[in-house]
Structures are given as structure tokens and as C-alpha cells.
Amino acid sequence: MSRRSGLATRLYQGEAGLNIIGRRRVWFGIAAGLVLIAILGISIPGFKLGIEFSGGNSFQVPASVGTITHAEEQVDAALGDLDGGEAAHVVSTQTVNGVGGSFYELRTTELNTQQSNEVQADLAQKFGIAEDQISINQVSAAWGDQVTERALLGLVVFVVLVMIYLILRFEWRMAVAAVSSLFLNLVLTAGIYALVGFEVTPSTIVGFLTILGFALYDVVVVFDKVQENTRGITASGTQTYSEAANLAINQTLMRSINTGLVALLPVGGLLFIGAGLLGAGTLEDLGLVLFLGMGIAVYSSIFFATPVLTLLKDYEPRIQTHTKRVLARRSTGGGRPASGARRPAARTGEETVDDDTAPSGPTDEEAAALAGAAPKVGARPAGKRSSGARGGRPGGGGGSRPSGAKRR
């Protein structure tokens, strides 16, 4: 292979030396640590539920009233003036850039209709604007419960359909590995989302369901190459199932990275430019979920899904027998030339495998036998001894006749 070959070419031909399957315990340990952090993030700080899920009210006031801190202070004061409104408080604030101009959206705990109208009138007086310039939205927590229930139902249906498809397309072990990768993707994305502190909105739920499709696509691409490389693997004596799967990862690694980058670029623009620079707060929840989910999907399809698959395959008796046969053949030095030098090996990213396709030389015993049977330099052929005369004529007196010949 030329030294000028690019990384993509060397990866595809299995010459980059990336031993991913051989270090699967490392990847499992990293995944376990990340899952633990995600669970702690979900449990300790918890999700910051939006009013769609927790219930509450939102007041939208023009940004011309002053800073967002000043607006939040005035809303807190108006809530404190309510009868029995000691428990009412502002939950979150954000700046929204709309078509008609910028405004502040201040979300509070749930209020009844009378309390909402009182806060609206009080804010109009404090800010010196008309009441119709302040918009009020009231959302019940029951609506968020319905959204959550339907999202969970959609997740169950999706997983069942994925299992059926993968079992029919590949096998049940690949289905288990793929679904495990999907759940890892969900847990890690949810944990990071909780740690960041963004509100959970209906857009967040939509984002979670969207990343499942992307994660499944990446896993199927890798598994399709694994199936191609391992078809009839037990008939071969030079490569184990894990080595063939590792080669498949090397061959699809650049494709997975390129696909992930192409998908992350527009999502990153949505998150960092739309929500960060332009202040479109309604896009940050969706953008963050998609960005995290797609990035983790690339990681999980390479460093988790395929290692889980090889772990499950190692428990299959047929694969166990094949692996033992390949390793036993290597330990005895089978297929080596008589000189003892190893032939060029087919690198699989995990171990060096002898190429047994070349013809093997004679053994030491055969070479010794051939050496003893070979004629010495200057010796006549054994079956055509001369009678001693030149030209092949009978010589005088010196030649011996065959034992059974008679004189004439």
C-alpha cells in the first residue's frame, strides 16, 4: 500500500489499525460512566418542566419596558400583591424575537383567570402601557400529561417495529444490540439536557423522537457491513467474527463521521446561531436535543452497538468453536513457510492473521529426504550406466554382461 493512501482508504482496507472491538471493555466502561452521570443529572437537578407539563401562566410584555431583569421584578411584585398569591412566583424568563418586535416571556406558576387578569392590570399600570399590549396564556398540566403519554406510546411502538425489522433483516442479536444503543442514546441525551437546565417543552419531545430515527440509520449502516464481512465466517480459518466486525467498523467509520458532520452542521446553526446569537429562544430546546442526540448516535453506533453485538455472538456455540479453531491454528504456526518467516498478514485491526492462501513449502523432514535422494555432482544417472566405451559401443574386455545373458 502506498504511503500516500489517505486515512479513508486505509480504514476501508483495514490497515489503519483501529482496534475497536478488541477494546470493548474500555468502551463499555466509558458508557457505564456516562450513564451514571446522566442518571445523576436526571435525579438530582431533574428536568426543568415548561408550563406545558407543569401547568402555569405566561405573560408576554414588550421589550421596550426596560431590561428583562426589571420586567421580572415587576411581575414578582404583581404576584405578591395578589390575595393568597404568596406561593406564586416567576418560573422562567426569556427574550423572544417575533415578527412584530422583541418581547419578554415570563412564565409563572399556575393562576386562575381572576388572578391572571389582576396581574395583567397591575403590570400595565407599572409599565405605563395598555393592557392589550400584555398577552396572557394559561396552560393546564393535564395537557402536558397527555403529550407525555402519547410520546411514551410512540416510543414503545417505534422500538417494537425496530425490533421486528432488525430481526427480519439481520438477526435477533443485532436487534438487541441496536435497541440497546438507542436506549443509551436516549439516556445520555436526557441526562445532558437536564444538566444544561433547558426547559422541557413539546419541541423537546419531538426532538427525542427524531434522534431515534437518525441513531437507527447509523446502526443499520454499520450492521449491514458487519453482515457482509461475516457471511460464511465459520468456513474460513483465518479470521474470527470479532475481527471481521472490527474490519466492518473501520470500513464504515469515515461514512459515519461524514454523515454525522453533515447532519450536525445545520442543527448547530439552529442552536448556536438561531438560539444563541439571534435570541430565538423557542428554538433552543429543539436544537439542543437534536445536536446532542445526533452526536451521541455516531458514538454509540461505533463504540457501543457493534461491541455489544460481538459480545452476544461470543456466546453462540458455533462462533465459539470457530474462534477456538482459528486461535489454535495460529498458536501452532500453521501455514508458515519452511524458512520460518511469516507471510504478509491480513490486518483486521485486532490481531495479525496469517494469509494461508499461498502454497506452503516442504517440511524439514521432506527436505532432508529429497536431499539424500538427489544425485551428486558428476554422477551418472542411476538407470543408464555406460559400459565403459565411448560412443556407446561395447568395450573390449572390460564390460560386464547382465547376469542372465548367455554367450553366443
Contact 162, 179 (CB under 8 A): yes
DSSP per residue, 320-339: HHHHHHHHHHHHTTTT--TT
Average pLDDT over residues 288-317: 92
Average pLDDT over residues 282-301: 86
| Residue 106 bridge partners (DSSP) | 59, 93
The band of 272, judged by pLDDT with boundaries at 50, 70 and 90, is confident
Q: Residue 305 carries which DSSP code?
A: I
Max Cα-Cα span within the chain: 154
Give the separation between CA 179 and CA 308, rounded to whole angstroms: 11
Average pLDDT over residues 19-46: 92
pTM of the model: 0.70
Whether the per-residue pLDDT at 106 is higher than 70: the answer is yes
End-to-end CA gap in the chain: 77
The band of 88, judged by pLDDT with boundaries at 50, 70 and 90, is confident
Q: What is the pLDDT of residue 99?
A: 64
Q: What is the pLDDT of residue 275?
A: 59
For 78-106, b/e burial (b = at least 16 CB within 10 A) is bbeebeebeebebbbbbeeeeeeeebbbb
The C-alpha cell that represents 75 in the structure block: 411581575
Helix axes 241-268, 306-313, angle to 10 degrees: 160
Give the separation between CA 368 and CA 354, rounded to whole angstroms: 26
Give the separation between CA 348 and CA 245, rounded to whole angstroms: 9
Q: Of 164-173, 275-284, 368-377, which one has max mean pLDDT?
A: 164-173
Least confident of 21-25, 274-278, 393-397: 393-397
Cα 59–chain centre separation: 43
Average pLDDT over residues 230-241: 86
The band of 228, judged by pLDDT with boundaries at 50, 70 and 90, is very high
The band of 214, judged by pLDDT with boundaries at 50, 70 and 90, is confident
Average pLDDT over residues 84-90: 70
**Cα Rg of the chain (Å, integer):** 38
Give the separation between CA 244 and CA 226, rounded to whole angstroms: 7
Give the separation between CA 273 and CA 287, rounded to whole angstroms: 10
Give the separation between CA 62 and CA 41, rounded to whole angstroms: 35
CA-closest candidate to residue 105, choices 77, 139, 137? 137
Average pLDDT over residues 63-73: 87
Mean pLDDT, rounded, of the chain? 77
Cα–Cα distances in Å, from 203 out to 128, 144, 147, 271, 403? 34, 12, 11, 13, 110
Polymer length in residues for the chain: 408
For 295-326, b/e burial (b = at least 16 CB within 10 A) is bbbbbbbbbbbbbbbbbbbeeeeebeebbeeb
Q: What is the pLDDT of residue 310?
A: 94
- Note the pLDDT tens digit of each residue in 362-376: 444 444 444 444 444
- What type of residue is 102? S
Q: Of 89-98, 267-276, 305-314, which one has max mean pLDDT?
A: 305-314
The share of the chain scoring above pLDDT 90, in percent, equals 24
Give the separation between CA 206 and CA 40, rounded to whole angstroms: 24
- Note the pLDDT tens digit of each residue in 319-369: 999 999 988 888 886 533 333 333 333 444 344 333 333 334 444 444 444
Question: Long-range pairs for 93-101 at CB < 8 Å and ≥24 separation?
Answer: 93/68, 94/281, 95/63, 95/68, 95/279, 95/281, 96/60, 96/279, 96/280, 96/281, 96/282, 97/278, 97/279, 97/280, 101/62, 101/63
Give the separation between CA 311 and CA 35, rounded to whole angstroms: 19
Residue 333 Ramachandran class (φ > 0 left, ψ -120 to 50 alpha, else beta): left
